[in-house]
Structure 1
């Protein structure tokens, strides 16, 4: 029997690479349109930055392909600690202007130069560390008792709390939800008993429902502010629950985005043709550019491309014989699905 060579070619799954390349191209085109319309003087700078990040990401992806399981397993705890260290930096090195506009200290800035968002690196190291814990806890056992499951859940929680604590200090609750989505996916694939998961899920749903019931009252909002919830966070939730009531103020971006998507119609207005003012559409609201220019057909194809990417990632995950990689893949799938959602 011939022995297959472990070449770079054999490590590339083109059915995953193709949708990624398509989405990168769509992203570049959309950012070009948005920047050309809103900040034409910054077009070359913005596009250069995007191409540079794509290049660096591609190089990093190639380097990671060369890692073997043993090396990745050994460096994972160090990557987690390094990620926590990076998460502290925005609390010290931040731009007051960025904090004023976003309400969060989640970007590392020196002077007027905004460098990077440490939580993006932390997502990777967090997924790796949860995966390592999940594999180590099982240790080849397919069946565990509730005591083992509770212990594993405690370990997951212990790893998660420092990350969430730093995100709370940064004021970045949106990113905290991404980490919770990753945790949920890892917990399910860990095989923790539903006798533990179901009560936790029900308690979480009940907690969210109770929060919404309290939030929609005036006294509830005042109580939340006294408890330390920031005003901009209260405003974001209000805008999400009833956007058009706040269309002239805190929900202006959201409602303009919804109108922009609607005005695209079935086929869109055509390439590089925007009419509505949607604040920060080059990043937060980039989907509005796709929908307004290319309509329901174009935006639907983008969502289908994402769906195909997730489908192929799931296929690879289910076929994997390496439990460590199965956990890692699950974490990244949950991260991407949450961002798409």
Structure 2
């Protein structure tokens, strides 16, 4: 049966529709509350609603493709992401007097287009997960494996990720770290020998610890080898905030103050007292904390847990029918997990500030649209699973 016929008799996924609606409501209310600070004097909530509307249209559009077609398109999503990153790297900060690809907060990550900004790395994450899922579905080690076969498999993955990961690392260290986490999760689930997994994870942790040690003990050396000053300050503020200047630790302190001031039930949406810079993006969780207190924060966390649980169940159940969908859902789940942990962590001070948004909640056209592209594939996979299971028991 064609996917087009499926649209006329759709297999609705009520729980995923519920997740979409709830996060839409959370995001609009939180962004509306944040924009009262007038840091940029823009109608962020209205724009966020439009981004969500565009995302909803994308979800509907993707239902006209079956999973095999999406798998075939994965390479083109991947290639488009690389092209966008290369164009961003080569683009001038200004075209005449117009800001086109400026360096913002120490990172050259955005195209400044009329009426909106475009962040290629957000779309590259989804394109990379898609293409890796396609590759792994065809080449994952199966049956009795040798170290040689696993090494060849890993080298091929390295060849896929090296260019986009390198371009993202040059633009934004936080996003690059997220990409590497997602890739490691996908590799772990691909069936590679656990000894190789241990070697890869151990090597990665060793490098990360070494970099942190150099930044903490020898900041001048860290600066000399290419680590930006703002990155050094963020790490030092996280490790030893008491010895940092008031400006360096201001964001985290104000985020913690905002969350704490909300107490149990919050102060309401229109009566925020604690100003937090970038409240509509990086520190949206602090706005939720002040507006709705512990109750609101707990509700958001519970919704993320519910969404992640739903994805984990889908990973397992769709695998016999579509390995591509299973691997994609695994990568997308890892993306949601690491973004949620990192963003909430930096809001409450247990993680360094990295500029990572809270997916589906923080303001941002690229973040919302790219995440909802991933959501569209997940929703499509869940519909397909329902169809497969329905036909199996007829």
TM-score normalised by the chain length of structure 2: 0.78
CA RMSD in angstroms comes to 2.2
State yes or no: 1:166 paired with 2:191: no
User: For structure 2, which runs of at least 5 residues remain unmatched after alignment?
Assistant: 342-394
Q: CA deviation at 1:33?
A: 0.8
* Counterpart-to-counterpart distance in 1, 2:299 and 2:9: 29
Which residue does 2:130 correspond to in 1? Answer: 128
Q: CA deviation at 1:138?
A: 3.3
Q: CA deviation at 1:180?
A: 0.8
Q: CA deviation at 1:176?
A: 0.6
Aligned equivalent of 1:67, options 65, 68, 73: 65
Deviations 1:207-228 (A, max 9, x none): 32333333221xx211111111
State yes or no: 1:338 paired with 2:341: no
Superposition map of 1:199-238 within 5 A: 199-217=199-217, 220-238=218-236
* Counterpart-to-counterpart distance in 2, 1:41 and 1:115: 16
Which residue does 1:26 correspond to in 2? Answer: 26
- CA change 1:11–1:88 in 2 (3 A) is farther
Deviates more, 1:248-257 or 1:288-297: 248-257
Which residue does 2:155 correspond to in 1? Answer: 154
* Counterpart-to-counterpart distance in 1, 2:26 and 2:305: 15
- CA change 1:188–1:176 in 2 (3 A) is same
- CA change 1:90–1:40 in 2 (3 A) is closer
State whether residues 167 and 175 of structure 1, in contact with CA within 8 Å, keep that contact through their aligned partners in structure 2. Answer: yes
Deviates more, 1:172-181 or 1:69-78: 69-78
Deviates more, 1:235-244 or 1:181-190: 235-244
Using CA pairs below 8 Å that are at least 6 residues apart, which structure has the higher relative contact order? 2
Which residue does 2:277 correspond to in 1? Answer: 279
Which residue does 1:299 correspond to in 2? Answer: 297
Which residue does 1:265 correspond to in 2? Answer: 263
Deviations 1:181-214 (A, max 9, x none): 2101210110111010012212222332333333
* Counterpart-to-counterpart distance in 1, 2:259 and 2:337: 21
State whether residues 30 and 288 of structure 2, in contact with CA within 8 Å, keep that contact through their aligned partners in structure 1. Answer: yes
* Counterpart-to-counterpart distance in 2, 1:253 and 1:169: 24
* Counterpart-to-counterpart distance in 1, 2:76 and 2:146: 30
Which residue does 2:362 correspond to in 1? Answer: none
Structure with the larger helix share: 1
Secondary structure class of the residue paired with 2:42: helix
Which residue does 2:111 correspond to in 1? Answer: 108
* Counterpart-to-counterpart distance in 2, 1:327 and 1:261: 36
Secondary structure class of the residue paired with 1:336: helix
* Counterpart-to-counterpart distance in 2, 1:145 and 1:221: 43
Aligned equivalent of 1:316, options 308, 314, 317: 314
* Counterpart-to-counterpart distance in 1, 2:201 and 2:8: 42
- CA change 1:128–1:99 in 2 (3 A) is same
Deviations 1:9-43 (A, max 9, x none): 54432212212211110110011011023359533
Which residue does 1:249 correspond to in 2? Answer: 247
Secondary structure class of the residue paired with 2:315: helix
TM-score normalised by the chain length of structure 1: 0.90
Deviations 1:217-267 (A, max 9, x none): 1xx211111111111111121122223433512221112111211121122
* Counterpart-to-counterpart distance in 2, 1:259 and 1:247: 17
State whether residues 269 and 294 of structure 1, in contact with CA within 8 Å, keep that contact through their aligned partners in structure 2. Answer: yes
Q: CA deviation at 1:73?
A: 2.3
* Counterpart-to-counterpart distance in 1, 2:9 and 2:183: 32
